[in-house]
Amino acid sequence: APADLWLGELASGRGDQAQKPGPFVLGRNLWKAYGARPVLRGVDFSVARGEVVVVMGPSGSGKSTLLRMVNHLETIDQGAILVDGEYVGYRQVGETMIPMRDLATARAQARIGMVFQHFNLFEHLSALENIMEAPVHVHGVAPAEARRTAMRLLRMVGLGNHADHLPHRLSGGQQQRVAIARALAISPRLMLFDEPTSALDPELVGEVLAVIRRLAEMGMTMLVVTHEVRFAREVADRVIFMDEGVVVEEGTPDEVLGAPRHERTQRFLRMVE
């Protein structure tokens, strides 16, 4: 279908013809502390192009901190993250890497879409206007074109008839689908999801997971923090299990979720299932 064709273009990152070799996201020896409290203690991870990596782990294990680092929302104490071969938080001038002070600009240029547990929609803007906001005001897309794209995205997440609704008139599941559409509107090269269904009533979880599953099928590169084990088994190419700021184990869903080797992983899975 034409819609799928277009989504395929979206997922492959239109205009990024000169793809660099190596993993799309590469995190090496990442350390982070808040005050004296260590949160990440030497984390290594990677996401290949088109890969879906699910991150699991108990509350406080550092999952959100990791995601936020990838998207310039958190500074890195030690170690480095490369996205598409470029250092997060730095810009290269000649041979020198200079820390970026303007993280908002860095974030806009990186074209990474992020979806949070709490949808964080602009309450005074309609569903359509929420989706148009970043393309028009951050990326300088003409409003008419941004509107067309936003309508396409709304239809894709099953909300073509809700374009004019303000967020408070939408259910939690609908709001989260608008948030996903909004993240997609910048033609992201990478999508980050931080517990996208944790704040939803159980009956609304499925409609949001269905949209994420569809993106996975389209080949979108994604890093997803979720406690939804069944979803992870279906959609993840790889699962990373974290606890207390370290990667405890990682592998295919069958390995990590089906036959976990570590006691901490086993305990966690007993708790969430």
Dihedral pair phi/psi, residue 212, rounded to 5°: -65, -40
Q: DSSP secondary-structure letter at 254?
A: I
Alpha-helical (H) ranges within the chain are 2-11, 63-70, 103-110, 127-137, 143-156, 172-184, 202-217, 229-235, 253, 263-272
- CB atoms near residue 46 (< 10 Å): 17
Residues 55-84 as x/- pattern, contact with Mg ion by CB under 5 A: --------xx--------------------
| Angstrom distance (rounded) from CA 239 to CA 268 | 14
Closest CA to 226 of 82, 111, 69, 59: 59
39 binds, among Mg ion, ligand ADP, none (CB under 5 to 8 A by kind): ligand ADP
By CB under 5 A, tell whether 265 contacts Mg ion: no
Among 7, 23, 56, 61, binds ligand ADP (CB under 6 A): 61
CA–centroid distance for 18 within its chain: 23
Among 7, 39, 157, 218, binds ligand ADP (CB under 6 A): 39
174 binds, among ligand ADP, Mg ion, none (CB under 5 to 8 A by kind): none
Q: Residue 81 Cβ, how far from Mg ion at the closest point, in Å?
A: 18
By CB under 6 A, tell whether 62 contacts ligand ADP: yes
Q: Residue 55 Cβ, how far from Mg ion at the closest point, in Å?
A: 10
| Angstrom distance (rounded) from CA 103 to CA 254 | 38
Closer of 17 and 59 to ligand ADP (Cβ)? 59
Please, which residues have CB within 8 angstroms of residue 266's CB and are 6 or more apart in sequence?
260
By CB under 6 A, tell whether 272 contacts ligand ADP: no
Q: Tell me the DSSP string of 47-104.
A: E-TT-EEEEE--TTSSHHHHHHHHTTSS--SEEEEEETTEETTEEEETTEEEE-S-HH
Q: Which amino acid, 1?
A: A
34 binds, among Mg ion, ligand ADP, none (CB under 5 to 8 A by kind): ligand ADP
* # residues near ligand ADP by CB under 6 A: 10
| Segment lying near ligand ADP (by CB under 6 A), choices 43-51, 63-71, 76-84, 142-150 | 63-71
Closer of 128 and 180 to Mg ion (Cβ)? 180
| Segment lying near ligand ADP (by CB under 6 A), choices 14-22, 58-66, 149-157, 206-214 | 58-66
Among 12, 65, 149, 176, binds ligand ADP (CB under 6 A): 65
Using CB under 6 A, list all residues that contact ligand ADP.
34, 39, 57, 59-65
